[in-house]
Amino acid sequence: ILNVEQSPQSLHVQEGDSTNFTCSFPSSNFYALHWYRWETAKSPEALFVMTLNGDEKKKGRISATLNTKEGYSYLYIKGSQPEDSATYLCAFIGWGAAGNKLTFGGGTRVLVKP
Amino acid sequence: NAGVTQTPKFQVLKTGQSMTLQCAQDMNHEYMSWYRQDPGMGLRLIHYSVGAGITDQGEVPNGYNVSRSTTEDFPLRLLSAAPSQTSVYFCASNEGLAGDGTQYFGPGTRLLVL
């Protein structure tokens, strides 16, 4: 079983503040890392697919970086807004994983306080 | 496109009962997967399929059966429900080798086993 961990499990952010959190994954046999945003009572939605060491992706105020050699990815939220409140999931795909099998981390639950 | 659809949305079962959770997608995706979501554990893969007629086990397959007779449908069967199967179940599809592995999730089925 692959070990994909996210920290912290939850965090509270004041509106307007920036924040970041971590996903750690096996550094060997890396193929891709995904980030998903999951709002309460909805389905997870893809944010980023990252494949290359040093990748940086950005969507609005949310960005992510990737370090495959040390096995971690950071997700950043700049100027947090209440609508950013959600659980953020990362998912690892190993090289040769059949059917694009994703192994998910436990998620970081973000609550942005007005 | 409806995307990924799941029925029912909610279900209550008694221990020992059987049922089938339905999942369908209209995006002509090769790959389909079933996940369960439990508090603090993110999403765990139950079974997946890389095409019609082909299925394989994920991380937590015990107590569940699947089949894939068509590209569109991927039902999940609980043969004899147990309280440990109380969870939220998500079906997902992706393009397979033609894509980047991004999962498209259905709305989820909330199951309570008494």
pLDDT in tens, A13-71: 999 999 999 999 998 888 899 999 999 889 999 999 999 999 999 999 999 999 999 99
Interface probe, candidates B100, B104, B109, B110, chain A, greatest A C-beta count within 10 A = B100
Portion 41-100 of A in contact with B at CB < 8 A:
42-46, 49, 51, 89, 91, 93, 98-100
- β-strands A108-113, A10-14 pairing: parallel
8 Å CB contact of B108 and A103: no
Cα of A43 to nearest chain B Cα, Å: 5
Asked if A98's CB is within 8 angstroms of B105's CB, the reply is no
Helix residue ranges, H only, A22-77: none
Q: Name residues whose C-beta falls within 8 Å of residue A12's C-beta, 6 or more positions apart in sequence.
A: A111, A112, A113
pLDDT tens digit sequence for B42-68:
899 999 999 999 999 998 999 999 999
Which residue(s) pair with A83 in the sheet? none
Stretch among A13-22, A82-91, B72-81, B94-103 having the lowest mean pLDDT: B94-103
Note whether B26 contacts A: Cβ–Cβ < 8 A. no
